[in-house]
Every structure is written in structure tokens, then in C-alpha cells.
Amino acid sequence: MLITENILLALAGLKSNIMRSLLTMLGIIIGIASVIAIMTVGNSITVMVNTQMQEMGANNLTVGVSAKSTSEESTTSGLHFGAGNRREMDTEDYLTDEMLDSFLQEYGDNIKYTLLSSSVGSGTAMDGDLYAYVNITGYNEDYMDYTDLTLLAGRSFIEKDYENAQKVCIVSDYFVNNMFDGDTSAALGSSIEVNVSGKYYTYYIVGVYEYENDSYSSSSTEDTTTDLYIPYDTARAQLHTENDGYESITLVTTIDTDSEAFADTVENYFNVKYYSNNEDYEVTVTSMASMIESMTTMISTIELALAIIAGISLVVGGIGVMNIMLVSITERTKEIGTRKALGATNGSIRLQFITESVVICIMGGFIGIILGIVLGAVAATYMGYSASVSVVAIVVAVAFSMGIGVFFGYYPANKAAKLNPIDALRYE
């Protein structure tokens, strides 16, 4: 009952001095709003990054050949130097089909797709005044199945296209809009010529896919660069690749495989069986799951640092609350003396003023939460992310507001509780 009366007294006091109460809350409001806004934007970025990387493949393993790290050496004069220029990769340094076949025979149950890609480059398809920007990339059959394009017309690549390195391609609906005025029937079977850094490549269109526009892109439809898909061996032939090996491949593990743990298995398999005698190169495996975790940790660290900086204003706001409470005690000295003369204990006086301090901070905290959510949502939307409010941040903000109220309200409340009732009643 005493707490309820104290809350009502605190609200009555706030109502009687609305302007002073708002100014007292201002530091709390700004601090809480800043923390909530920062946490909302950070949470939105984290959700977006995780979503995009999950779409890229959280269970993907990038298997690549990289130079071995060597220890630093020193000359007789004491000068230190590194390994120097490492030799170029030779044919025996690359991953081969034989290595992959051997690996898949042993661990095939853990692998869903083996992805191979080879970039020819970015170029421009032109036909008179018509043009379209494209990225030409060759993909193997597994990659095309993994990509799961939405075909609007025509077909995907067939086995003959891959085996014979046919000069066929699959283009986007944006490409067809630019080059064929949106007529997919006219596009299918037509030949196109693409200029890539002065080299001209000719392809025949066999399919048209639906391009998913990046909502963050500011380029117009006409100037949007889309992917032009060709068979993997076609790209290799056009690039005049001298060896049949691979510098890197991507493995997509099955759902029930722990990709992070399996990454060590893959790395050990290739290094022990094929690269143990290679003095310059080794196989390294990167897990997309570990990249997601590292990215999330980095964003969370930055978010926490910014929140702590913004939280400094909460301390300033708490000092403001303490200052106003001291002023309030001075103004209400006679009231305190009267209550003590009527039998109020030091504990009840202390509780009254701590309650007032907590009420001020909680009200400021709730206003700050609402303001922070609005600011965070606006900022996230402006940056192109879907707003994702951090529930944890809201709970922490409410608890922190109460904590500030108790912490900065205790000293004034304790001072009020220790007033001598006779001196208080004499106070003018």
C-alpha cells in the first residue's frame, strides 16, 4: 500500500511541475532512445546479413589451393626477410577431377553438390543502338541445379551443352527487354555478340530466366548488369585455360552434415593424401557458417561499442535526476519534517524519494523506448534494411532505467531520511 501511495505522490509531483519533469527526463529519454535506435539498426543489419549469407549457402565449403605460410628468415647481418616471390602454380598444384572423384567416393554421402564456376568477365551486348550489360560466367551442371533459376522461356543446359562446350547461354528477362523489346520468342535461338575488354564472344540464347532485382541497387532497368550463364567448359575454352585443374571449388554439404566440423575433414583429406609433399601449396577450406558467425560477432561488437557510447548520456541523465531530487528535498523540507513528526520512519521517507526517482526514470525510459524504436525503424528503412526491433534492448533499457532511478535516487532519499524533524519544521 505504501508503494502505491508513493507512486501516486510521485505522479502528482510530476504533474505539478511538468516542464521541470520533462527537462529532468530529457537525459534519460535521449540515452534510452539512442541505445534502442542503435540496437535496432544493428539488429536489422545482422538479420539482413544472416539472411543473405544463408541464401548464399550456410552449409557451403570453399575448397581452395593457397600458398603455404613460411617462417621469417634472417641474414647473417641480422636483416629479416620473408619468403620472397613464390613460384607460380604448376599443373600439379591444382585440384584435379581424379582428386575430387576419390574424395567423393569416400565422402559422397556428405556432399549434395560440387559447384564449379569460371568467370569470362563483364561486357556489353550490342546490336545497333540496343545494348545490355552482362557478367558472363560458366557453371557446371551441379551449379545450375543448385542455383535453381526461374525459367520464363526456353530450357536450361543439357548434357550435350556441357560435354561439347556449346556456345549457348541463358539470359535474363532484363536482357530480353533491352535487346528484343521483351519478346522472348524472338530472343530464343538468336545469336548475340558480347564485347568483353575488346574481345567478342558469340552465343546462342536457349533460355530466359527471371532476374531478381536487388532492392538496394540504384541503377535503372536499362543499365542493370545481369548474369549471362554459359556452360562451364565453354567458359574454360574461351579463356584458353591450359590445365584441367581447379584452383578452388565449392562443396555443398547435406543438411545433416556439420559443415564446420566437416571442413577440417576435407582439409585434412586433401593435404594428407595429395599435398603432403608439396612444399609451396596446400588446401584450405572455408566454411560459410564460420563466416556468418564471424560477421555476426563483428557487427555485435560494433553495435555494443556504439550502445555503450550512447549510454554515457544515461549517466548524465541520472546525474540530472539526482540534482532535481536534491532540489525537491530542499523545497519539501517542511513536508518531510511534518511526516517524521507524525511517525514516519527513515525507511518510509527513503522509499518515498527513491520511488519518485524510479518513476521519473521509468517514464523517461518508456518515452525513450518509443522514440528509439521510431528512430531505429526510420534509419533502418532509409539504409535499405527491414526494421528488426531488439526485444533484448527494450528489456535492458527498462531495467537500466529502474537501476538509474535507484542508484541516483538513493543519495537524495537518504539525505531526506536523515533530516532532523525539528530542524526540518523550522526550515523556511
DSSP state of 385: -
Task: Delimit the domains of the chain by residue range.
Answer: 2-53+293-426, 58-112+246-288, 117-238
Mean pLDDT in order along the chain per 10 residues (428 residues): 68 72 79 82 75 65 84 44 62 89 92 92 92 95 89 94 95 94 94 94 96 60 88 91 82 84 91 90 83 73 74 75 76 74 77 80 85 86 76 77 77 73 60
Question: What size, in residues, is the chain?
Answer: 428
CA-nearest of 323, 405, 396 to 364 is: 405
Instruction: Select from 401, 410, 390 the least CA-distant residue to 361.
Output: 401
Per-residue pLDDT at 133 = 95
Domain 58-112+246-288 belongs in CATH node 3.30.70: yes
Report DSSP letters for 255-307, one per residue: TTS-HHHHHHHHHHHHHHHTSTT-SSEEEEEEEHHHHHHHHHHHHHHHHHHHH
pLDDT attached to residue 54: 54
Q: Residue type at 235?
A: A
pLDDT value at residue 75: 45
Measure Cα distances from 74 to 12, 82, 254, 342, 384 in Å: 79, 8, 47, 87, 52
Q: Which long-range contacts (CB under 8 A, 24 or more apart) does 184-191 make?
A: 184/152, 184/153, 184/154, 184/208, 185/153, 187/153, 188/153, 188/154
Cell numbers describing residue 324: 532535481
